[in-house]
Amino acid sequence: MNITEKILSSKAGHEVTPGEIIEIEVDLAMSHDGTSPPAIKTFEKIADRVWNPDKIAIVFDHNIPANTIGSAEFQKVCRDFIKKQNITKKYIHGEGICHQVLPEMGLVEPGKVIVGADSHTCTYGAFGAFSTGMGATDLAMVYATGKTWFMVPEAIKIEVTGELNPYIAPKDIILNIIGDIGIAGATYKTAEFTGESIEKMDVEGRMTMCNMAIEMGAKNGIMEANKEVINYICTRTAKRENELKIFKSDADADYEKELHFDINDLEPQIACPDDVDNVKDISKVESTTVDQCLIGSCTNGRLSDLKDAYEILKGRKINDDVRLLILPASREIYKQAMQLGYIEAFIDAGAIVCNPGCGPCLGGHMGVLSKGETCISTTNRNFKGRMGDSESSVYLANSKVVAASAVEGVITNPKNLM
């Protein structure tokens, strides 16, 4: 059996098989200020009390602080619900993006089943958990019962070998994979990432890759917990390794297909408008003019991303025709970046440093694009109108590329500046 089948079997109480419909208990349910209100509205039609207020997390991250009357009203609905239901895991004061905050707070562990009303909930697969997004109505039923149903997914084994060069990052690996598989090539499948490159990858890189599993249609992305993950979890939860439920795929596990990717000669990868699988080597799109550059999001707003940007921006100025927005993924990361001098360097370079949150990624809060404008971003989606006007364009790249592009005013290979 593979790792996903083992986790679901553990929860179901019997050995599951792909295609089987199962109903299981969840360990954690999450929603944010954008998806909580519709889930709450449905929940209140079916139940008076949530199944377990200690297993629900609500995070304000999409429009924080509230930027419209509508978002303010949404957040009031959430606050009232939190008080009424005695929700203990509430992060409503700008702690950061849900997919960064939950692991930081020690709520994510290997072997857990985690659901969230956000498609990028698959991020937690980086820690060896089965995690997936769902709609608000499904989440309302979880809030009421603590259970949900799944069809056990087929699995695709994605082996990655080779070494990262100084100009690429895990973002380039996952973009390369999505470009090969396609935006619907893994629909309702488990994307299991393995291989020597994954085994050696740090926690932040793993989170980036699992975060974007949904961009090829996957039900979940997942990796076996390596030593770095185990150390991270033990630090955050105050548990010992032998207290964690770490599942590993069997050597003879069955997969629908097995794919191999060698990253040794990989160029920085760019997802071009208007689909995440429209991926090209940077050499094919260099010198494309940009109006806005964005470093942040649940995909690439972590400390390693800010460090990569710092190494490019320190002592330099951004182009006069470009605006650069930087949003750390959490308050913790923001504070670390301040202590390391990154924030000061960003401000000196001319960047606009914003509070932790999703904001520009979905065109909801700051950094909205006007007609005809182009942005290069470390975010996870570049659909038409994603960040503003339907006639604007979004390119996706790693933070080194985005920082270099901010300096030059055009899409730039960071090797030109490093």
Tell me the one-letter amino acid at 133. G
Structure letter (DSSP) for residue 51: S
Which of 210, 234, 261 marks a domain boundary?
Answer: 261
**Tokens (6 digits) for 10:** 């553990």
Which of 241, 261, 281 marks a domain boundary?
Answer: 261
Same domain, 257 and 378: no
Low-confidence ranges of the chain (pLDDT < 70): none
Which of 261, 293, 309 marks a domain boundary?
Answer: 261
Same domain, 29 and 92: yes
Same domain, 345 and 374: yes
Same domain, 52 and 86: yes
For 205-221, write each residue's pLDDT tens digit. Answer: 999 999 999 999 999 99
Task: Give the residue from 218, 364, 369, 182 showing the smallest Cα distance to 293.
Answer: 369
Q: Which domain holds residue 320?
A: 270-416
Per-residue pLDDT at 365: 84
Same domain, 231 and 249: yes
Per-residue pLDDT at 97: 96
**Tokens (6 digits) for 333:** 């990361």
Number of domains into which the chain is organized: 2
Same domain, 298 and 232: no
Which is it for strands 21-25 and 147-151: parallel, antiparallel or unpaired? antiparallel
Same domain, 127 and 212: yes
Q: What is the CATH number of the domain that holds 138?
A: 3.30.499.10
Same domain, 118 and 54: yes
Task: Give the residue from 83, 90, 85, 114 showing the smallest Cα distance to 33.
Answer: 90
Per-state percent for the chain, helix, strand, coil, to nearest 5: 40, 20, 40
User: What burial letters (b/e) apply to 407-418, b meaning 16+ CB within 10 Å?
Assistant: bbbbbbbbeebe
Tell me the one-letter amino acid at 155. A
Same domain, 277 and 319: yes
Same domain, 240 and 275: no
26: helix, strand or coil: coil
Per-residue pLDDT at 93: 94
Per-residue pLDDT at 389: 87
Whether 360 contacts 325, CB under 8 Å: yes
Same domain, 180 and 105: yes
